[in-house]
Structure 1
Amino acid sequence: MDDAAILKRRGYIMGINLGEGSYAKVKSAYSERLKFNVAVKIIDRKKAPTDFLEKFLPREIEILTMLNHRSIVKTYEIFETSDGKVYIIMELGVQGDLLEFIKTRGALHEDDARKKFHQLSSAIKYCHDLDIVHRDLKCENLLLDKDYNIKLSDFGFAKRCLRDDNGRLILSKTFCGSAAYAAPEVLQGIPYQPKVYDIWSLGVILYIMVCGSMPYDDSNIKKMLRIQKEHRINFPRFKNLTSECKDLIYRILQPDVNRRLHIDEILSHGWVQPKARLLFSAAIDKDGETSATPILEASGVQESPWTPEPGPDKKSATKLEPQEAQPEMNPESQPKEEILQEASRLLDIRSAVPMEGRPSRDTEEGGALKPADTHTS
């Protein structure tokens, strides 16, 4: 029985092809029960590699069945046929993904970026509170519904965090995600907190939202890592970003993992909470000063160094476990070749699975904003 017949028996009228890989494809379909269009990911176990079947697919299915948040793509049904095909019925991102949206329309106004970033941050807090980490946060995985609200998608590399006998999160050692969105500790092969890694990726996404370009050039990983570790961030002058927005990005893209903001601190930041914005300057003056000043590098234009407004470096009530086992960053250390080689080993797994839950687009890539290359391990 073909896919259309199988879906018809479950109450879905199959539509157009949204994407296809070597062992998976994504179709649109109309749900007779829900009365609207959905996306259907179809995975053929007979064609899928062992790594995917034994590790990635079981994790994804387990996590998808747990999630229920307004800013996360909904999973309506998962079923499998006797011939080894897995069908995942999920919400359709009718307006495409955030990357294509920004490539087409340019950087978002801060008010629009604030709304979308708050939606995304709320979704990440929900996941982190469940000890679930996404590990592949990027603009391509942020779908837009009919009202252009954010819907976090693609949990193919997500996992449940493990804890030791004392209840502390166990550090991760594997490279997972896209280099352009990867934190410096991950690129260096340093044992890392996966939740803290997700936070760095949030900072890259926010920068892209308000600047319309990537904060770092991943064509030269060695140079990118050096710039990251020096805490250098370029805020283009012509964007006229508010100091609050720059402050938030600067604090998220913090190479020192012990000083990088937690998700609760992001959600309570003055830029994210409009009602708190008028009190932002007064509150930060009262609570203390920052010790670092970022160095800005404008593309072709020299810009005066931007000094982050003084603010608390205090941790929120909901804390991540201390990084006791994590070594200090060595300024001279470089990305470990074995890490990047291991990342490339499973690259075919990601490329073989089509992007889910979004309509296909023929927009050409252009400029500095481009889809990120994904690496896994």
Structure 2
Amino acid sequence: MDDAAVLKRRGYIMGINLGEGSYAKVKSAYSERLKFNVAVKIIDRKKAPTDFLEKFLPREIEILAMLNHRSIVKTYEIFETSDGKVYIVMELGVQGDLLEFIKTRGALHEDDARKKFHQLSSAIKYCHDLDIVHRDLKCENLLLDKDFNIKLSDFGFSKRCLREDSGRLTLSKTFCGSAAYAAPEVLQGIPYQPKVYDIWSLGVILYIMVCGSMPYDDSDIKKMLRIQKEHRVNFPRSKHLTGECKDLIYRMLQPDVNRRLHIDEILNHCWVQPKARSLPAGASNKEGESSRTPDTLGVPDATTIDKHSATKVEAREEAAPKINPEVAAVAAAAAAPAVASVALEVSKQPENMAFNNKPSAIEATKEEAAESAQQQPPETNGP
């Protein structure tokens, strides 16, 4: 049975093609039950890599069933056919992704950036409070609903963090993500704190929001890494950014993992808070670091933002009130070692994930232990 017939039997009228990868594609569809358009991810398990099926896929399914936040895409239904095809029904981001939005309209005004960044940060806090890390935060994975609100998507590299007896989170040894958004410790291929990695990526995203360009040129990873480790951040003068905005970015793009901000500190930062009073352009933060940085990177104002991840194929719209109960059932099945059921964002190509001559981001020096069970707290909604 073809995809249209399969979806029709489940109450969906298939629409246009939204994207396609090597073993997955995304179609739009109208849900006769929900009464609005959705995105349907169709995965061919026969074509998917073994690492993905055995490792990333079960993690993602477990996490998708847990998530319930207004700034995270909703998953409505997951089902699989006897021929090995998996269908995931999700929100449809009718306004596309943030990267395309900025490429089309240019840098955001700080007030608009503040609103969107607060939504994203609230979603990340919600995840981090559950000990869930995303590990692939980038503008392509931030979808926009009809009102241009942020919807965090693509949990294909996400995981639940284990805690040691001391209560500390264990380090991650799986090196994944996109080089342009990756923290220095990840680029260096050393074990890293995954929550702290997410914070660096948030800093890159906010820079792109307000500057309309990338903070670092990833065409030369070795050079980029040297600049990052020197804690150099160049802000285009023509953007006239407030001192507090630059201060926040500078402190998120902190190469020292012990001094990089945590998500609570980001949400409490004066720039993120409404009606915040601007800091002087050269104001120093509490660590004595100035947000005024040398103009040594030479980032031009009109820098073209290219997609550093070649396989973003998602779109969504408004959420239904609750996740379909089938999601939880599939998640439970995915926890079995021999079962690899479904994943939300699967069209990741090896070239997307390669850092510094690593053949694939899903290569790990050691498989992390199975994630510990944890109960989901009530939803914490962003603004």
Tell me, yes or no, whether TM beats 0.5: yes
Matched residue, 2:163: 163
Matched residue, 1:244: 244
Shift of 1:293: 6.7
CA change 1:63–1:2 in 2 (3 A) is: same
Matched residue, 1:196: 196
Shift of 1:374: 3.4
CA change 1:373–1:54 in 2 (3 A) is: closer
Name the aligned partner's letter for residue 212 of structure 1: G
Superposition pairs of residues 129-278 of structure 1, within 5 angstroms = 129-275=129-275, 277-278=276-277
Distance 2:88 2:218 in 1: 33
Matched residue, 1:297: 295
Matched residue, 2:82: 82
Distance 1:63 1:3 in 2: 26
CA contact (8 A) 2:42 2:87 kept: yes
CA change 1:208–1:279 in 2 (3 A) is: closer
Q: Which runs of 5+ in 2 are unaligned?
A: 301-307, 318-350, 355-360, 363-383
1:374 aligned to 2:348?
Answer: no
Name the aligned partner's letter for residue 133 of structure 2: V
Shift of 1:83: 1.7
Shift of 1:102: 0.4
Structure 1 vs Structure 2 CA RMSD: 2.4
Shift of 1:173: 2.3
1:64 aligned to 2:64?
Answer: yes
Q: Which runs of 5+ in 1 are unaligned?
A: 303-346, 360-371
Matched residue, 1:355: 313
CA change 1:9–1:300 in 2 (3 A) is: closer
CA change 1:293–1:146 in 2 (3 A) is: closer
Name the aligned partner's letter for residue 355 of structure 1: V
CA contact (8 A) 2:248 2:269 kept: yes
Distance 2:72 2:299 in 1: 39
CA contact (8 A) 2:233 2:297 kept: no
Superposition pairs of residues 47-62 of structure 1, within 5 angstroms = 47-62=47-62
CA contact (8 A) 1:237 1:298 kept: no
Shift of 1:278: 3.0
CA change 1:301–1:135 in 2 (3 A) is: closer
CA change 1:73–1:107 in 2 (3 A) is: same
Query: SS state of the match for residue 79, structure 1?
Result: strand
Name the aligned partner's letter for residue 136 of structure 2: D
Matched residue, 1:24: 24
Superposition pairs of residues 291-370 of structure 1, within 5 angstroms = 291=289, 295-297=293-295, 355-357=313-315
Name the aligned partner's letter for residue 104 of structure 1: T
CA contact (8 A) 1:232 1:294 kept: no
Query: SS state of the match for residue 123, structure 1?
Result: helix
Structure with greater helix percent: 1
CA change 1:233–1:266 in 2 (3 A) is: same
Per-residue Cα deviation, 1:10-44 (whole angstroms, up to 9, x for no partner): 11111111111222111000011111100000111
Please give the TM-score of this superposition, normalised by the length of structure 2: 0.77
Distance 2:217 2:299 in 1: 17
CA change 1:289–1:22 in 2 (3 A) is: closer
Shift of 1:262: 0.3
Shift of 1:60: 1.3
Distance 1:355 1:161 in 2: 27
Per-residue Cα deviation, 1:325-348 (whole angstroms, up to 9, x for no partner): xxxxxxxxxxxxxxxxxxxxxx9x
CA contact (8 A) 1:182 1:200 kept: yes
CA change 1:34–1:301 in 2 (3 A) is: closer
Distance 2:291 2:202 in 1: 21
Query: SS state of the match for residue 43, structure 2?
Result: strand
CA contact (8 A) 1:97 1:358 kept: no
Query: SS state of the match for residue 203, structure 2?
Result: helix
Of structures 1 and 2, the one scoring higher in RCO (CA 8 A, sep 6+) is 2
